A and B are shown apart, each in its own frame.
Chain A
C-alpha cells in the first residue's frame, strides 16, 4: 500500500516526498526522465551573494535524502492519466495503474514555443533543449548561435552556454505577431527586463534601471536603443531587430532579420542575414499542468504566474480531495522556491493523513513563511509580478473554497 504518489522528481516533488516520508508515510515518486532531479540538473548560476547554485549537486543531495527516507523512486516512467475512484487516486502510468489516497502533482514547467518560418530545420531548438544538451548530456549544440527571444531564462542559459565554451553571437526578438505576443514587442520586453533588473543574470540592465523606471524614459530608451545593441555578458542584445526567418537548406545556416521601430514594426529595406549553425528559441515558461487538468481540477489564468494554474491554496491543496500541487505547476519560479513549496505540500499531506502530531501545524506554518522569505531573496525571478500573482490565487481560493476549518488554519498561518 502506497500512501502518497508524487508525480515529478524535480525539486518540488523530491522535497515533498522527503517531507512526507519523514512524517511516516509510504511514498513513491514517478518521473519520466532517465534520472531524478527534474529541471534542477540543468541549472548553474551565481547567486547575489556570489555563491554558485549548482543544480546537479542539489539534485544529488535531494536524491540521497529521499533514498535515506526509503522513498521509492521510479525514473523513466510516464504518467498519462490521473483520476479518482471513490477514495483512491488512480495514477495511470507506462508501467501500469498505481493507486494511493494522496497525490502530489509536481510536474514543473514547459516552454512557450514561438513558431517562425524555418523553425523545423535541424539546428533550431528551444533554449531549454540547449540547456539540457549542454549541462545534462554534455553535447555541444553548435559553434555559433543566435537566441530568438529576450527573457530571464534566455540570459541564464546564455551564461551557461558561455561557461561551456559555446559562442552565442546575438540575441534578437521574434517578429511581432499573434504567435509571439509580447515577446515581439520591444517596449514590453524592455519593461519586463527592467522589472527584473536587480536580479543576477543582467548586470547591465541593472545599471540602466535607475534611469528607466518610468514610461517616458522607457519610450525614449527604446527609440534611442543603440542599433548595435547593448551587451549582456558580452553578447549583443538587439531589441530593435526581429527574426523573420531561419534560413538553411539541410540545416540552420543563419537568421534573416530586420530592424524594427520602438513598437516592433518592421522597417522595410533593413533586412540582413546573420550567420549561425544553431538557433535557440526562448519563449519563456508556463506551468505544465496537463495532469491536474485531466483530473478535473479547476483552473485560473494568471499571467503573473506564467499562464493557467490549477486552483490551489497557500498550503498547496487543490479543491480535489487528496490532490496536492507544488513547484512550477503552481506558477513559474526558481528551483529553490519550488523545493520550499514541495516541503509545504509534504507537511500539508502529512497533516491531512493525520501524521506529525501537534507539531505539524507549526511546521506547516514555518514552511509557508520560508517560501515568503526565499521569494524576497530570490536571485532569479522569471515573472516580475509573481508576488501579486500568488496573492490573486490565494484570494480566489478564499473566495471559492474557504470554510470554517480552512479559515482557522489560514488565521494561524497569518
Chain B
C-alpha cells in the first residue's frame, strides 16, 4: 500500500504545535517511514496539493480563510485539528467577548478598517473535523498516539474526565489549597496535569470536558464552594468559544 500523504496547514496560531512536531526529531524520522509528508512549511520548501491527511493548526479568524479550509476538506480524507486554537478556538477566543471594532482599533489605530476579522473560532465551526489533538501546545506523545490510531483506522482515545483526576494521581498540593485558582475541575485531562506538576495551575488549555455538568470534578468544586459555572467563568482564557456555544 502507498504511504498516506500528509500535509500541515496553519491559520491564526503561533506555530507552537507544528514546532512540537518538528521537535519529534528522531521519532519524526521514524514516522516518515510510515507516512509521506508532502507539505510542511516549517521544514520544507516542497508543497503538493495531493494529500490524504491534513493537520490544521490555528483558529479561523477571517471570512477569507473559510475558502481555504473548504478546499482542504475537499482534498483530504482525514482532517485533524492540532492545538487549542484549532480544536476549541483557544487563546484567540479571548477577544470574542469584546467589540471587534475596538479590538482592531487598539492594535491598528486609524487603519483598522484594513484588517478584516471576525470572532475567532475552531476549525470544526467551519468544516467537519475527524480527529482532535488538544493542548496549547499539543504534546508530542499525544500527537504520535493520535496519528498511530488514525493509521490503524481506529478512533483516537481522548480522555473525557477532568484534569483533577490526573492531578490527584500525581499527588500535587491542590492550587486552591495554596490560595490560587485553577480550572482543572472542568478541563479535559490528557496532559497528565503537567502545569500543576510544574508548580502552577491548570489554565484550561485542553478545553472543557464534554458535558461539564456531568463530567466535572464535583468533589473539588464542593470542597471549595464552587458551582460548575463558577469554575468555567473563573477566568475564561481558553473557553471563550465553547462557553458561548453552551
User: Do the two shown chains form a genuine complex with each other?
Assistant: no
Residues of B within 8 A of A (CB): none
